[in-house]
A and B are shown apart, each in its own frame.
Chain A
Amino acid sequence: MSVDRAGKSGVRAPGGGRAPGTVRAPGSVRAPGTVSALGLADAVRAGELRAVDVVDAHLAAIEALESSLGCFVTVTAEHARRQAAAVDAEVSAGRDPGPLAGVPVAVKDNLCTAGLPTTCASRILAGWRPPYDATVVTRLAAAGAVMVGKTNLDEFAMGSSTESSAFHCTRNPYDLDRVPGGSSGGSAAAVAAGLAAMALGSDTGGSIRQPAALCGVVGLKPTYGTVSRYGLVAFASSLDQVGPLARQVADAAALYDAIAGHDHRDSTSLGEPIAPCRPAVDRGVQGLRVGVVRELTETDGVEPAVRRRVLEAAEALAAAGAEVSEVSVPELRYGLPAYYLLAPAEASSNLARYDGVRYGLRVDGDDVADMNARTRAAGFGPEVKRRVLLGTYALSAGYYDAYYAQAQRVRTVIIDAFARVYRQVDLLLGATTPTTAFRLGEKLDDPLSMYLSDVCTIPTNLAGHPALSVPFGTDDAGLPIGVQILAPAFGEATMVAAAAVLEAGAPATRPPAVAAPTLLDATGHSGHPASQPGADPQSGAAPQPGVPSRAGTAGQPGTGSQAGTEGQTVVSKAGGAAPGGGRP
């Protein structure tokens, strides 16, 4: 695929290339066509579309493509159909089911779902059914959304490629030989391929933004404390935050609005009222001061194609009226080393709860300590073991001050540096990730090189600030590139305003090589805002309504998602066994 510059004018791809016939959902009702999630919700609320047809079309797309992509750990088909029927009943009764009425949402499998498996992509939790819902899952339902499944992730969200999942790899819809990023790789790939209209992820060091960038979707990491973490399985508690992934900025903003706000069940939840983000989409950037961060643009590891897109994005903001300048924040370079002491330290403490007593796996031993050690050895994969060892070491007597406490002071240095630069500018701009999607297996044996793919996203988490990745063109190979917008605490709305400007001005791109007919609306538009469907017969899955794409080319057709077996964890290897995985 090559980059089409025609879209640089800021105009979305025209509605030509009308597909031969429109997408028909079961029941012959036009669905799930309307490409934006909010468009779907509006149609459901207005009674123009039935939520059950929308969800059936997405479940059909999952059935067709899941064996190629491996986005899900569990497909919750029955649950989704029940939720959709309830939404339709509300509409029939003349009540408003909520702002996300009937929107199919995928949920990262480290968010608890009552009675439905929540695995964290780990053997130690395989088959565990939480006794309660995460607050964000409750809020999704209250907004009328429909949960279609639990998405694959790096085990306990530790990783940048989704390859450390204990179950299977997830593949990038733009190139099945490449990773979707991670740790929210299943969520990002599902949204990119149209298997869900939007998704929830979690971001501890970049786990929403990095896969969003690699899969060509929008990912928003909210300000720490604005979204409840009750029911999010803890990784690094001072950094973890739940947030949205979507194909369009307005959808991501609306999903954030639906889940944000105080929750008395989360003691780190902030009490202040959260201003809604969705209205900011039309605000523009006139007069906003935007700093292009040299350290997030010019750093050694940043590929020239990525750097070029960041600079083009800066031009687009300037053209829309922003005051763009270059800024330098040298302290950001200490983010990565500090993070890889702090996050593993917190993880080693948080994961102490997997002791074979209260939930999940138990492997018997000679005594309690032996049972603990055997259970954890059998239940955790290599990346989790590495981080638990690293964190235990950093916290151990004699090293605590040199490693952990010093990293905490460096965290203060980074927070102070952000405060300094935010006295000069309102937003910062940089790369989301130094490279486009890398090949499966490429970084598996070299943890440090894997960690480096988070170098641009980590500083935000250390500061507790919000940041957003928005697609902005591709590299020469047609792989998506994400541009990162950073803001001070509670700057989500400003960030969304800038992201909407970049979305409108982004270079035109093609839809993913593997994508569902759900990405098409009645006119044959792709769900990717700046895309031009139908131009490439090689990757012409999306413009072929009713033809489930390349489902048969990369995986086994007709197997995989098992969309009918409620609550059964998908154990199909069709998504790709981990190359060189080194699983126990």
Chain B
Amino acid sequence: MTEPSDTPDRHDHDPGGSERLTREATAHVAVLARLALTDDELDRYAVQLAGVLEHAAQVAAVDTAGRPPTAHPFALVNVLRPDEPAPSLDPELVLGEAPAAEDGRFRVPRILGEAP
């Protein structure tokens, strides 16, 4: 699998505002999202997502001049607590729920030595 670029640029861009999510763009987003989708799924989601995006595009019509973006209802910053040692989760218990573990660590497929 080759590393995808960040921009899903294969879509129809209609300057009139109605942007359609094409099957190709959906396939590209699926790669970014690490979802191995079937052809049937791609066909179906491309149509459904285009419909939802068309609705969501209404936000573009809202006058937001001078309004900062809100990421959280109450912007708490620098939430700190005293640095006191406390017991952690039992590693055996945690690793016992993993799909694969070895020597106290999560076991994953080989990473090093692969083609980029």
Contact = CB atoms under 8 A, between A and B. Distances in A.
Interface of A: 128-132, 224-225, 238, 264, 267-268, 270, 334, 336-338, 340-341, 348, 352, 355-362, 364-374, 376-377, 380, 382, 385-386, 388-390, 392-394, 396-399, 402-403, 405-413, 415-416, 447-448, 451, 462-465, 489
B90 to A, nearest CB: 7
Contacts of A397: 6-7
A356 B58 contact: no
Contact of B99 (A338, A341, A356, A376): A356
A372 B34 contact: yes
Contacts of A132: 89
Nearest to A348: B33
A412 B68 contact: yes
Contact of A367 (B1, B30, B73): B1
A340 B62 CA distance: 15
Interface residues of B, number: 57
A199 B8 CA distance: 43
A238 B71 contact: yes
18 contacts: A131-B89, A131-B94, A337-B55, A341-B59, A358-B94, A376-B36, A377-B37, A389-B45, A390-B49, A390-B53, A393-B49, A396-B32, A397-B6, A409-B68, A409-B69, A412-B67, A413-B64, A447-B48
A393 B36 contact: no
B76 A385 contact: no
A374 B48 CA distance: 22
A22 B65 CA distance: 65
A122 to B, nearest CB: 14
Contacts of A403: 56, 59
Q: 6 nearest interchain CB pairs?
A: A464-B73, A408-B69, A362-B99, A409-B64, A373-B36, A377-B36
- The secondary structure that dominates the A interface is helix
Given A392-B32, A403-B59, A411-B70, A268 B1 contact: no
Contacts of A393: 8, 21, 25, 29, 49, 53
A385 B79 CA distance: 33
A388 B56 contact: no
Contacts of B98: 357-359
Contact of A341 (B21, B56, B62): B56
Given A361-B99, A367-B1, A337 B93 contact: no
A398 B76 CA distance: 29
Nearest to B57: A337
Nearest to A404: B69
A410 B71 CA distance: 11
Interface string B18-39: 0001000110011111111100
A448 B51 contact: yes
B57 to A, nearest CB: 7
Given A268-B79, A373-B35, A406-B62, 18 more contacts: A225-B76, A267-B76, A334-B62, A337-B59, A357-B106, A362-B100, A365-B109, A369-B1, A385-B41, A396-B7, A396-B32, A399-B8, A408-B70, A413-B62, A413-B67, A448-B52, A464-B73, A489-B73
Nearest to B114: A367
